[in-house]
């Protein structure tokens, strides 16, 4: 077992993101999503951790996990992903990796951060323009009582939150793990909708600073799109965009 990073010592809550290899859409079929959740549920019964919230998208998964021992988290992710990979490769007659690299882990250091993360996870389908409300997305924990009825969410989580004092500084500007592929799709969709709404083209946007400012405000403030991605889609240099 590798050395545990110091930043993980003072918390028991972790935001996890698992992505398909080469950003492949490994969850296009409902049965595959249901299989992953079933495997996760079975692994959870054998390992000491709790799943606070989750959301399964087409090519990645978000999990918010409570665990006392970080090594248990490693065991859980390894077991869940390994079993699913074997199932997936057999079903689709393929070989090799199913998931991209190692799963990403982000520690949660405050109660406020925790609830922001839950909200962020549940709103993934909304931000990806799959649905207009998290309640309309089938494969997340949003429509369950997070702390009682969902088979993946243990009813003791509230008690954990109340009993434990989070360490670290409070921060209102939480940054969560993003899937660049989804961000790119969102960026393109917002730009296309903006052009249609204003009956214009990108070439005109480049010349009209007032329109460009409005579009930039939407992309940056509402959807947290990076200057790098906006530059790529609009063909306008980052420094020019930053000066607006």
pLDDT at 23 (0 to 100): 73
pLDDT at 244 (0 to 100): 82
Region 215-241 average pLDDT = 85
Tell the residue number behind the tokens 């922001």, with chain if given.
116
In angstroms, the CA 23 to CA 44 distance is 26
Buried-state track 166-189, b at ≥16 Cβ within 10 A, e below 16:
beeeeeeebebebbebbbeebbee
Each residue of 66-101: pLDDT tens digit? 888 888 999 999 999 999 899 888 988 888 888 877
The model's pTM: 0.65
Cβ pair 128, 186 in contact under 8 A? yes
pLDDT at 79 (0 to 100): 93
pLDDT over 60 (residue 137): yes
Least confident of 3-7, 34-38, 99-103, 132-136: 3-7
In angstroms, the CA 158 to CA 164 distance is 10
Each residue of 162-221: pLDDT tens digit? 555 454 444 455 556 665 556 777 788 788 888 888 898 998 988 898 989 999 988 887
Each domain of the chain, given as residue ranges in start order, spans 10-163, 180-243
Decide: helix, strand or coil at residue 19: strand
pLDDT at 117 (0 to 100): 87
107, β-bridge pairs? 14
**Greatest CA span in the chain, whole angstroms?**
60
pLDDT at 221 (0 to 100): 79
Return phi, psi of residue 192, to 5°. -60, -45
Q: Which pairs count as long-range contacts for 32-36, CB under 8 Å and 24+ apart, including other chains?
A: 32/88, 32/91, 33/139, 35/84, 35/87, 36/61, 36/80, 36/84
Element (H, E) at 104: strand 104-108
CATH topology of domain 10-163: Alpha-Beta Plaits (3.30.70)
pLDDT at 162 (0 to 100): 52
Kindly list the strands in the beta sheet with 104-108, ordered across the sheet, starting from the edge strand earlier in the chain.
Answer: 49-56, 60-67, 13-19, 104-108
**Cβ neighbours around 214 below 10 Å, total:** 14
Work out the percent of the chain whose per-residue pLDDT is above 70: 80
Cβ pair 150, 35 in contact under 8 A? no
pLDDT over 60 (residue 49): yes
169: left (phi over 0), alpha (psi -120 to 50) or beta: beta
Which candidate, 73, 65, 100, 77, places its Cα nearest to that of 4?
73
pLDDT at 190 (0 to 100): 83
In angstroms, the CA 53 to CA 147 distance is 9
Region 140-168 average pLDDT = 55
In angstroms, the CA 196 to CA 91 distance is 42
């Amino acid at each position: 077992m590798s050395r545990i990073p110091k930043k993980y010592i003072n918390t028991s809550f972790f935001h996890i993101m698992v992505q398909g290899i080469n950003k492949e859409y490994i969850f296009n079929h409902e049965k595959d999503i249901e299989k992953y959740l079933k495997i996760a549920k079975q692994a959870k019964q054998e390992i000491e951790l709790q799943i606070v919230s989750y959301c399964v998208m087409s090519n990645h998964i978000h999990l918010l996990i409570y665990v006392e021992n970080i090594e248990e988290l490693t065991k859980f992710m390894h077991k869940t992903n390994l079993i699913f990979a074997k199932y997936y490769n057999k079903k689709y007659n393929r070989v090799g990796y199913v998931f991209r690299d190692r799963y990403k882990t982000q520690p949660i250091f405050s109660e406020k951060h925790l609830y922001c993360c839950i909200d962020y996870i549940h709103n993934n389908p909304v931000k990806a323009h799959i649905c207009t409300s998290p309640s309309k997305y089938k494969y997340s924990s949003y429509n369950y009582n997070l702390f009682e009825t969902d088979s993946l969410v243990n009813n003791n989580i509230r008690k954990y939150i109340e009993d434990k004092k989070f360490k670290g500084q409070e921060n209102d500007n939480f940054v969560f793990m993003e899937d660049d592929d989804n961000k790119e799709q969102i960026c393109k969709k917002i730009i296309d909708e903006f052009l249609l709404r204003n009956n214009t083209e990108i070439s005109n946007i480049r010349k009209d600073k007032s329109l460009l400012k409005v579009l930039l405000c939407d992309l940056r403030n509402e959807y947290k799109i990076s200057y790098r991605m906006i530059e790529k889609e609009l063909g306008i240099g980052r420094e020019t965009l930053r000066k607006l």
